[in-house]
Structure 1
């Protein structure tokens, strides 16, 4: 079981993301391709995808069910152990309901972001798109705790993260 460590600096977080190869557009493209069985060219960077293509991909991913959310998360996260930790948090927080709202706090989505509007930093479709919520949640867990497993370790000790 991972031990909770101090939050990483922004530079450490960027270096960790680079080492993992976490690219948002590429990961979403791969996840969508895997789910639909279609082939999509891997973009070199965000510049390689038009706004219309991005909007289309986001709309298709937004229609995902909770089972689809799990598939998307597996593809976006990649690492089996980190996915399992992420999944445990999401199961406790929202039951994989990307529209879950905590009536007392206002926390919203798969990862129960508070305030919910923080997820807008990952995409304007944060209210309806599980992929956007997963991306934001992964970034949050990496920035705040170091990894989803470190976040899960914290959650187990505190019943929140």
Structure 2
């Protein structure tokens, strides 16, 4: 029986010691805080209150001592800070991953757009080349003056009809503008001061012999030569007309 009482006494003393140590730590922290806030003299009331508290803590049953031992605020703060850091790090990594994916998609789209633009440019150039070849072939066909029967004389309407059949449709108006200014569609027009002759006023007129020996009397021969001259020197009748407008000659 005495041994049992002694054991209970040891237990109560141990609890009491733990309470006193805890109270002392709390009081010490309070004293430090007081000093930090300007209160240089610790109050005796604090020590007395601590003593009273220890008496109450000593009466806590041994089975409930675990409730007294709680985690410190510093440990809780550290745990919260660690969790916040981990969350921030995870969020940053996710943001970086999403941005990298977005950048990669943008680069891919830009590369695809560049390839598409290059393909369109190549296709346009090829189509332009084909059109140019077709136009050249068409001009070669329409410049054949031998398809017109030779006559002793031609009216303006007949000469214009020849030109419409020999000059490409998209170039006829430009060709007509030049002929209107140079000879008013008179295939026998002659400039006595310069020696220019014919519809396009070739200078000298004998240049047109390269298109046919009948250059003096056949409007088709003159049209053929005039087209060849405009194409070789200006690229087309419209190119020649642009130059004529700027210089009043071609």
TM-score range, shorter chain: 0.5 to 0.7
1:1-150 alignment, distance < 5 Å: 18-23=136-141, 24-25=143-144, 28-29=146-147, 32=148, 57=149, 59-60=150-151, 63-79=153-169, 81-150=170-239
Structure with larger Rg: 2
Q: CA deviation at 1:22?
A: 1.4
- Residue 195 of structure 2 aligns to a residue whose secondary structure is coil
For structure 2, the residue ranges without an aligned partner over 5 or more in a row are: 1-132
Question: Equivalents in 1 of 2:139, 2:216: separation in Å?
Answer: 26
Is the contact made by 1:28 and 1:76 (CA closer than 8 Å) also made in structure 2?
A: no
In the TM superposition, what whole-angstrom CA distance separates every residue of 1:97-134 from its partner, at most 9, and x where no partner exists? 00101121010000000011000000111001100000
Question: Equivalents in 1 of 2:225, 2:201: separation in Å?
Answer: 11
Q: CA RMSD in A?
A: 1.8
Sort the Cα spacing of 1:158 and 1:21 in 2 relative to 1 into closer, same or farther, 3 A. Answer: closer
Matched, 1:155 2:244: yes
Is the contact made by 2:139 and 2:167 (CA closer than 8 Å) also made in structure 1?
A: no
TM-score (norm 1): 0.67
Instruction: Work out the number of aligned pairs and report it.
Output: 117
Bigger relative contact order, structure 1 or 2 (CA pairs below 8 A, ≥6 apart): 1
For structure 1, the residue ranges without an aligned partner over 5 or more in a row are: 1-14, 33-56
Q: CA deviation at 1:65?
A: 1.2
TM-score (norm 2): 0.44
